[in-house]
Chain A
Amino acid sequence: MENTLRQKAKELLESGEVKVVIGYRWNRTRTRTTPVFITKPEDTDQLIFNPLCVNNLSLYLTRKFKDIQALGKPAIVAKGCDIKNIVVLITEAQVKREDVFIIGMVCNGMVYKQELWKGELTPQIMPTKCHNCDVRNPHVADFVIGERSTFTPPEKPEGMVFDKIKALDSKDPSERWAFWINEFSRCIKCYACRQVCSLCFCERCITEKNMPQWIETSAHPRGNLSWNLTRAMHLVGRCTFCGECERACPVNIPLNLINQKMIQVVGEAFDFKSGYDEKVHPPMIVFSPDDKENFIK
């Protein structure tokens, strides 16, 4: 798989079809993976692909990374889940389909966090998204690498995140509120959740608008709540449940619960799942006369 990847990357760079390959390489001690930007054909041997390649590299296609955009047309090494984000970026006019070469990687699951890796991919160290993955065979790609996966996800999504959402839904609103206030109380306002998210592509986030200061910068309950809720709302109908925000959070706030809940709400209201078709716009940016109105009471 890696040989094919390196060969393909080399060809793409040599022919000039792309100017940079966004992929993964080992760290110095070959224990963790880290993003890499390959611009020379002779450097393509650095590219790797394994269950430690957790990062959603679609982030580097966004406007926040002007120096990477300046390199020229990219090829990107992407798992199915990463491709979902690329699809959203295309539907939201952030990237043109023809401006990115997607090297789709067939994936059999990743670790939730790299620290959990003990040399073997076991179900216990895989995130909920992998257990329910319906894009192990990349769904939008220019070139697919890997032996076709025969995995079929469970009919009804299952796993830790779904169980926790059910448990939370069964609580009364005051208990739910207390749960989230407690979780958000740890927030240190580092905004790692936003920075790691390829769909948080605003060049000027609302937190940075300080005349007036819409979101208080202090890490106190009100500031923390307003930040986390604002981000959740801005991802409605867009988030693909890639899980990068929760992985990046230094204080372990269970952001996957919020985002997956939003996905369920959008699924019920609009019969829409983001990240599957680059020709369909997400529900929050289009008006359709068929939109349900039953929420108006």
Chain B
Amino acid sequence: MADKLLKKENLGKLIESVLGKGGRFIAPSTDARQVVFKAVAKAEDLASDYILARNSYKEFLFPQTEVVAEFTVGKDGVDLRGTDVNPKDTVIFGSRPCEAASLSALRAVFTWDFIDEFYTKREDKTVVLTVACTKGDEACFCTTVGLSPETKDGSDVYLKETESGDYIIEAVTDKGKAFVEKHAAVFEDGSATAKPLFIPAKIEGIDLDKIKERLAKTENYADPVWGELTKKCIGCGACTFVCPTCHCFDITDEGTAFEGERRKNWDSCQYENFTLHASGHNPRDFQHKRWRNRFMCKFNYYPNKFSSKGCVGCGRCIRVCPVRLDITEVMEAMSK
């Protein structure tokens, strides 16, 4: 059977085709000396050599700051006006299989007890084009959490790079099939050989079931090992900001006393204020307790509450951590 190919010289045409139909094209691109996901307008803007963008593309589905309402305070009371979200068609190009798998985790939380349309409407309009990994680094640990570069969960179209720099494409979902049809002119039939994938070695000594079992036991909650492993955490929250599955936000009113906007801003469980009560009491009064919460969220609360993964093993938190607090070292300790 012939493969469907996206020739590298047609990548520009694909971008034009997407933009021409009123959409936006998000792809890894170099900005301020690092590769990040951002809106691009031409093929030359794409980063050619990268493992994983520094940020995750969740910010295009769940913006860091977004206005959810506007208010005016008048003599007769408060006039609160909700904001409608009318997202553009969005194409994410160059997702890796690990981050594609994170979308079901975001969807799970944003449709759990309340349908958050600010998220769902954006995700419905988003097509994820995953390019399977041909390289990786030592922070990659997808295989340790049960994923691999061959995983297609969350991908609408799954692409494999060929030796000549083209892509073999496979439409995975209906959304993906519709996308390929919509931009049929840029794809062509042919046959090519895919480059071998980079499959990170599974980290020995990590067992997700054992971790889950250990975390589920309440007597382990106050285990001093949490402090020993994680007291070096400085609470910067960078891990939560680059994490594709972290999704906590805060609602804040900004403006003057008489008019302003209600904004939904990313928040982080690593911040002291995250659980600070009005009384002054803080149940997570030390940084290691905040770190424990993030770990619990990924490997206990999430897998129990939703049938999706809390951690996809992309390794961003390891790369970004200023004190190199490696989540896999904690996973290893918790597997005992």
Other-chain contact of A192, B32, B237, B325 (Cβ < 8 Å) = B237
List, in ascending order, chain A residues with CB within 8 A of B326's CB.
Answer: 27-28, 34
Other-chain contact of A195, B36, B65, B235, B329 (Cβ < 8 Å) = B235
B231: Cβ under 8 A from any A Cβ: yes
Q: Is the CB of B64 within 8 A of A188?
A: yes
Q: Bound complex: CA of A29 vs CA of B137, how far in Å?
A: 12
List, in ascending order, chain A residues with CB within 8 A of B250's CB.
Answer: 217
List, in ascending order, chain B residues with CB within 8 A of A67's CB.
Answer: 227, 231, 286-288
List A172-198 residues whose CB lies under 8 Å from chain B.
Answer: 183, 186, 188-192, 194-196
Q: Is the CB of B322 within 8 A of A55?
A: yes
Q: Bound complex: CA of A115 vs CA of B254, how far in Å?
A: 39
Q: Is the CB of B254 within 8 A of A195?
A: no
Shortest beta-carbon distance from B62 to chain A in Å: 13
Q: Is the CB of B138 within 8 A of A34?
A: no
List, in ascending order, chain B residues with CB within 8 A of A68's CB.
Answer: 231
Q: Is the CB of B231 within 8 A of A192?
A: no
Knowing A67-B231, A196-B234, A250-B238, the reply to whether A213 touches B254 (Cβ < 8 A) is: yes
Q: Bound complex: CA of A220 vs CA of B324, how far in Å?
A: 29
B9: Cβ under 8 A from any A Cβ: no
List, in ascending order, chain B residues with CB within 8 A of A216's CB.
Answer: 252, 254
Q: Bound complex: CA of A96 vs CA of B39, how far in Å?
A: 51
Instruction: Across the interface, name the chain A residue whose C-beta is closest to B320.
Output: A250
List, in ascending order, chain B residues with CB within 8 A of A208's CB.
Answer: 272-273
B150: Cβ under 8 A from any A Cβ: no
B31: Cβ under 8 A from any A Cβ: yes
Knowing A217-B265, A251-B32, A252-B33, the reply to whether A55 touches B238 (Cβ < 8 A) is: no
Q: List 30 A-B contacts (CB under 8 A).
A: A27-B324, A29-B138, A34-B324, A37-B232, A55-B322, A60-B232, A64-B234, A67-B231, A67-B286, A67-B287, A67-B288, A114-B324, A188-B64, A188-B241, A188-B266, A189-B64, A189-B265, A192-B322, A196-B236, A208-B273, A217-B250, A217-B252, A219-B64, A219-B65, A220-B65, A244-B322, A248-B236, A248-B238, A250-B320, A252-B33
Please give 19 more A-B residue pairs, beta carbons under 8 A apart, in addition to A194-B236, A251-B54: A37-B231, A55-B323, A64-B234, A64-B235, A67-B286, A190-B268, A191-B236, A195-B235, A195-B237, A208-B272, A216-B254, A218-B265, A219-B64, A219-B65, A247-B322, A248-B238, A252-B32, A252-B34, A253-B32
